[in-house]
Structure 1
C-alpha cells in the first residue's frame, strides 16, 4: 500500500536536487531533506532561510562555505567525505538559519542536506568524523549500527536531529515498531521523520528492502508498506514505524531526519504488542558482521578538518 508517503527514486526531485522534501511538499511543519549530486568541479549555493542545515557527504568530498546574510566574510569547511555510505563515517558541516551556503566539489559526489525549521541562530561548525559516536543497537537479527552524527545530546542544533542506520542483509531494524507522534513529557516527543534509503547491490543486482508504517490511533493514520530501493524516501508524520527490512545479501542504509514543535529530544514509545522483543536482546549476541566500520581515530594535532 505504497502511497504519497513513499517517494521512489526519481519521483521527488526538483531543480538541482535529486530528492527535495520540504515542509510544504511534505505537508508538515519542520523536517526537510535534499540530495544534491555534483559533477566534478560542480558548485551549488542556497539560502538557508528559516531553517538550519547539515551538509553530509554520501559519496565524495566537498568544500562548504557559510556566510551570514548581509554580512561580509564567513567560514569555509573542507569535508573529506567518504567513498560511500557503506565505506565509513563522514565528517559534515552545520549551517545556521539566515545564511548563504556554497558547496563545491573538485571530484564530484552526492551530498545530503538535512534541514529543520528553527528559531535560534547557532554558529556554523565543522563536525569531524572522529567525533561521531557509532552505536550497535539490538542483537541477533535485530542488530544494526547507528552513526549518531547529529543526535540530540551529541551535536548541538536548535531543532534538527539526524542519524544514519546500517542494517546487515537479512536483518530487521527500526524494530520493535515505535512511534513519536505525541508530546508526552518524559515519555514521548512529537517528531516528523524522513527515511532516506541506499541499498547495497550484489554485483549487478540492485538491492531492495521494505518499510512499514502503521496507524497509531485517531488522527495518526499514516499507513505505508513500501518496497524501497536506493534513492527512495519514506515520510513519517505519525504512526508506528518499523520494521525496516534488509533483504538477504543486501545491506541497507537509511538516513533519519527528524524535527518537531517541542524540545529537541528523541523520546519514543514501543508498540505494546511487540515491545517484549527488547527483553530478548541481552540473551543474544550482536550480529558479528557489525560494526560495518567504526569512526576514524582523531587526527593527531587537530580534528582532521579545516575551517577558514
Structure 2
C-alpha cells in the first residue's frame, strides 16, 4: 500500500496541561518538504530544564513568554549565561531553566560555518513601523540579514486588530538576486486573546496553489512558495513569528504585480502602533 505524503501547510498546536513541559508543535524538513528549517515550540513548567545540542545546525531560541536562565558552551570552548534566548552556532550545547511558566520557540537550520554565540535582547532588535492605513504593522528584527548567523533569519510581526500584514502580497521562492531570494518560511501565530483569529492566504501566480486558511492562536503555516498575505479579525491583535532560511542572507522579495502599487502610496500610519514600544525610544 502506497503511503500518501502529507502536503498540508497548516498545522495546529496541541494543548499541554498547566504545570507540564512538552512540545506543542514541531516541523522538521521532512514534514515541511524543504531543506533547511526545523521549528519546535515548547512549554516549560517553572523549575524545569531543557537541554539541546546543535550538532551540525545553528539554533536560535526565541522566548515567547515567561522567564528563563540560559547557559551554553561552544565547540571552541566558549561559554556564557544570561536570562534571554540565545543564538547558538553549530557544535554548541544549550541548557535552559524556566524560572516561571515559559514558552520557547526552537529555530534551527544546517550550518557549515562557525560563528560566535550571542544573547539577543529587546534592545538589540531592530524595530520598524511598516505600511500605512489598515496595512500598518510593527516589525521586530531578531536575526536580520546583517546579523552574523549562517542561514537563520528571524523576525516578529505585530498586527493591530483588523489590519493586514505581509502586504502587498509578496513571495520569495526564486533565486533572482538582488530582487528576490529563494527562502523557506515559517509563520507561527499567536493572538492577544485565545479566541482570536485571522486569515492567511498562500497562492501562486499560476494558480497551482490558492489556499486561504483560518488561523487561530498557536497555528503554524509552512510557506514553501507563493504569495502569502495575512489579515487579523476585528478586535484581535495578532502576533506571528517568522523564521526564514535559504541559500542567501537576504529577505529580498517580489510583490504580486496586481497589488505592488500600494507599496508606493501608503496612507497615514495607524496611530495604534507601536503595540510594543522600542526599549530605547520610539520605533522608526
1:168 aligns with 2:160: yes
Among 46, 49, 57, the alignment partner of 1:51 is: 57
Among 177, 180, 183, the alignment partner of 1:191 is: 183
- Asked if 2 retains the 8 angstrom alpha-carbon contact of 1:222 and 1:236, the reply is no
1:68 aligns with 2:51: no
CA apart distance, 1:128: 2.2
- TM-score between both structures, scaled by the size of structure 2: 0.90
Distance 1:10 1:224 in 2: 23
Distance 2:158 2:213 in 1: 18
1:226 aligns with 2:213: yes
User: In the alignment, what sits opposite 1:292?
Assistant: 275
Distance 1:97 1:73 in 2: 12
Unmatched 5+ stretches in structure 2: 1-6, 16-20
Say what the alpha-carbon RMSD is for the aligned residues. Answer: 2.0
User: In the alignment, what sits opposite 1:84?
Assistant: none
CA apart distance, 1:29: 0.3
- Asked if 2 retains the 8 angstrom alpha-carbon contact of 1:222 and 1:238, the reply is no
Q: Deviation per CA, 1:93-146, whole angstroms, max 9, x where unpaired?
A: 111112221111121211111222221121111112112121000000000000
- Asked if 2 retains the 8 angstrom alpha-carbon contact of 1:164 and 1:254, the reply is yes
User: In the alignment, what sits opposite 2:8?
Assistant: 4
Matched ranges for 1:100-179 at <5 A: 100-153=93-146, 155-179=147-171
Residue 66 of structure 2 aligns to a residue whose secondary structure is strand
CA apart distance, 1:269: 0.2
- Asked if 2 retains the 8 angstrom alpha-carbon contact of 1:171 and 1:246, the reply is yes
> Relative contact order (C-alpha < 8 Å, sep 6+): which is higher?
1
Unmatched 5+ stretches in structure 1: 80-91, 299-308
Task: Provide closer, same or farther for how the CA distance between residues 190 and 73 of structure 1 changes in structure 2, counting only shifts above 3 A.
Answer: closer
Q: Deviation per CA, 1:196-255, whole angstroms, max 9, x where unpaired?
A: 000121xxx71111100002449xx4443110011100000111111x111000001000
- TM-score between both structures, scaled by the size of structure 1: 0.83
User: In the alignment, what sits opposite 1:35?
Assistant: 41
1:78 aligns with 2:61: no
1:246 aligns with 2:232: yes
CA apart distance, 1:23: 1.1
Distance 1:280 1:29 in 2: 37
Task: Provide closer, same or farther for how the CA distance between residues 222 and 54 of structure 1 changes in structure 2, counting only shifts above 3 A.
Answer: farther
Distance 1:165 1:30 in 2: 22
Residue 264 of structure 2 aligns to a residue whose secondary structure is helix
